Amino acid sequence: MSVAGPMFKRTALELGGKNPTIVFADADFDAAVAGAVRAGFQNQGQICLCGSRVLVERGMYERFREAFVERVRALRVGDPMDAGTEQGSLVSAAHRGKVAAAVERARAEGGRVLCGGRAPERSELPERVRGGAYWLPTVIEGLPMTCATNQEEIFGPVVTIQAFSDEADAVRLANESVYGLAANVWTAEHARGMRMAEQLEFGIVWINTWMLRDLRVPFGGMKRSGVGREGGEEALRFFAEPKSVTWPG
């Protein structure tokens, strides 16, 4: 942006995210647990749209946390050539180092690691991939939303989880971020889903799903998650110059 600005070049930026998964007590429990696991750990969390902050209504928090952690622990880490593998290697050893540093920082901030929190031992991996940059799926509890772990994108298989009290609290916690790319909301109440969508400061809001894409729908974020939109007519407008022609009489 700094290079393009002085040249008056239009700049579209698709940047990072620190996306919330918001689960209300009336949600389909099993679907919400599965959705939160998928949103948090698909592609080892190396997707800008991943839901790395899980917010759960307080009345069902303990039950949800137990089921969520159980599902995360059960994710099969292994050889990506094996059809049963659910978690592969991170993109590089250097990036794994960054993820490891982020988890250590979370511990220093007072976070409790509920599962994962380390690289697997070589003996825990199939022989063919023992040189890979693996990291076990990690869930961390007990951190305030203002801490670095909840504010900075880790881009790995690391998710935080915390409770909220009501809709207003959920919106406050979700929006308490410099990023605004994507959010997913789980609720049985259509009106609540729409109220949340209106108040959430994110360019993409999924309700009772995650990563359901249509290339005709604008894609992009608010705040530090980017500038401009991809997809559909919004993308075409970016590449066009509107012209006004007036002919009196």
Q: Which residues are marked as active site?
A: 14, 48
Alpha-carbon distances, residue 69 vs 1, 95, 100, 102, 135 (angstroms): 40, 24, 19, 19, 16
Per the CB < 8 A criterion, the answer to whether 162 and 56 are in contact is yes
CB hemisphere CA count around 237 (13 angstroms) = 8
Residue position matching structure tokens 């794994």:
96
Contact partners, residue 142, CB within 8 Å, separation at least 6 = 110, 111, 112, 162
* 48/59 Cα distance (integer angstroms): 30
CB atoms within 10 A of CB 25: 17
